[in-house]
Amino acid sequence: MSIEVDRGLKCHYCGREVILPFKCPFCGQYFCEDHRLPENHNCPELWRVRTRSPPPVEREHVSVARRVVKESPIIYSFKTRRERWTSITEIYHLIIGAAAVMAVGLSLRGQGFNWMKFIIRSPIVAFSSALLFTIIFISHELAHKASAKHFGLWAEFRLNIIGVSLTILSIFSPLKIVAPGTMVVAGVADKKVIGKIAFAGPLTNIVLAFLFYLASFHPLCSSREIALGALLSIWIALLNLIPIGMFDGAKIFWWNKMVWAASFCISLILLVLFLFL
Ligand SMILES: [Zn+2]
Ligand SMILES: [Zn+2]
Ligand SMILES: [Zn+2]
């Protein structure tokens, strides 16, 4: 834990001005004395920290409680407060995230800057499919949240700079990466719970994709738009199943390799199916 002197810095968690802020070695943000520990500022990298070195006390308990808890539990010494389902901060982060995803949705209608011409020519088609894309993204994040809440954990969406940058770059590049942020989870959780929360996101996209695909055969649906929705949903599922870094796939792979492999294969098959049929 390094201390850096920087007058007038604000704690990233509570906003209090601190003369001697502490830099978190995991997420790189600055905090006051009360929030300097990863568990006290809902550090997004906390799950990794705990995986690398489980505290010695928990190791002792594993042998006794092996039949109950197979893996050593991950304890976040999180201060419980009166909690609401969401917060102003989360809504603010979600709106910015959704706006970035919406922009990527609009950019699907043409290479380079051609999509801007498409919006002018047929704004309703352009905005409705971009909205569908945004709904797919929000369902993914809310599935994580609902799942975390189900396990009694604190969960809020937060943008992250790498994700936002990749998403904004996607507006202009042919490869579309939509991951402006992550659902930050805190509370007492084991490997299985973390894996299940991560799995809720891509699973929602697989189910949505399948439903859109079925709906595209219905005579009342504009099949092209709905089929595009199916394609986008499965793309988001597949992208998030990448088993590295900040993606959900990393946590799912870590929890259960079979679940990861099955969902990855299903997504890949559906993607190929939607692209070529
Ligand atoms: Zn603070
Ligand atoms: Zn941190
Ligand atoms: Zn996710």
Read off the pLDDT of residues 5-42 as tens digits, 9 standing for 90 and up. Answer: 344 578 888 988 877 778 887 888 888 888 888 888 88
Name which of 49, 94, 41, 48 is nearest 245 in CA terms: 48
Residues ≥6 apart with Cβ < 8 Å to 183: 141, 144, 145, 148, 155, 156, 157, 197, 201
**Spacing of C-alpha 131 from chain mean position:** 19
Q: What is residue 236's predicted lDDT score, i.e. its pLDDT?
A: 92
- Positive or negative, the Cα torsion across 192, 195, 200, 202? negative
The yes-or-no verdict on residue 103 having pLDDT over 50 is yes
Q: What is residue 262's predicted lDDT score, i.e. its pLDDT?
A: 97
- Between the CA of 13 and the centroid of ligand 3 the distance, in Å, is 23
Which ligand does the CA of 25 lie closest to? Answer: 2
pLDDT confidence of 137, banded at 50, 70, 90? very high
**Other C-beta atoms lying within 10 Å of the C-beta of residue 68:** 8
In a 3-state reduction of DSSP, which class is residue 241?
coil
Run of H or E including 128: helix 123-150
Mean pLDDT of the chain: 80
Which ligand does the CA of 46 lie closest to? Answer: 2
The yes-or-no verdict on residue 1 having pLDDT over 50 is no
- Between the CA of 141 and the centroid of ligand 3 the distance, in Å, is 6
How far apart, in Å, are the Cα atoms of 117 and each of 95, 104, 228? 25, 15, 20
What percentage of the chain carries pLDDT values higher than 70?
81
Q: What is residue 272's predicted lDDT score, i.e. its pLDDT?
A: 93
- Between the CA of 241 and the centroid of ligand 3 the distance, in Å, is 8
Average pLDDT over residues 230-253: 91
Run of H or E including 31: strand 30-31
Which ligand does the CA of 42 lie closest to? Answer: 2
Average pLDDT over residues 176-194: 85
- Between the CA of 71 and the centroid of ligand 2 the distance, in Å, is 24
Which ligand does the CA of 240 lie closest to? Answer: 3
User: Is there a contact between 98 and 133 (Cβ–Cβ < 8 Å)?
Assistant: no
Name which of 184, 113, 190 is nearest 151 in CA terms: 190
Of 15-29, 227-241, 254-268, which gets the smallest average pLDDT?
15-29
How far apart, in Å, are the Cα atoms of 40 and each of 11, 31, 99, 216? 12, 10, 30, 47
DSSP string, 40-55: GTT-TTHHHHHHH---
Residues near ion ligand 1 (Cβ under 5 Å): 11, 13-14, 32, 35
In a 3-state reduction of DSSP, which class is residue 123?
helix
pLDDT confidence of 127, banded at 50, 70, 90? confident
DSSP string, 72-113: --B---PPP----S--HHHHHHHHHHHHHHHHHHHTTSSSTT
**Spacing of C-alpha 255 from chain mean position:** 17
Q: What is residue 110's predicted lDDT score, i.e. its pLDDT?
A: 65
The CA radius of gyration of the chain, in Å to the nearest whole number, is 21
- Between the CA of 39 and the centroid of ligand 2 the distance, in Å, is 8
- Between the CA of 173 and the centroid of ligand 1 the distance, in Å, is 39
The yes-or-no verdict on residue 49 having pLDDT over 70 is no
Which ligand does the CA of 45 lie closest to? Answer: 2
In a 3-state reduction of DSSP, which class is residue 152?
coil
Domains and CATH numbers, the chain: 2-65 (4.10.1110), 88-276 (no CATH)
Residues ≥6 apart with Cβ < 8 Å to 141: 94, 97, 157, 181, 183, 201
What percentage of the chain carries pLDDT values higher than 90?
32
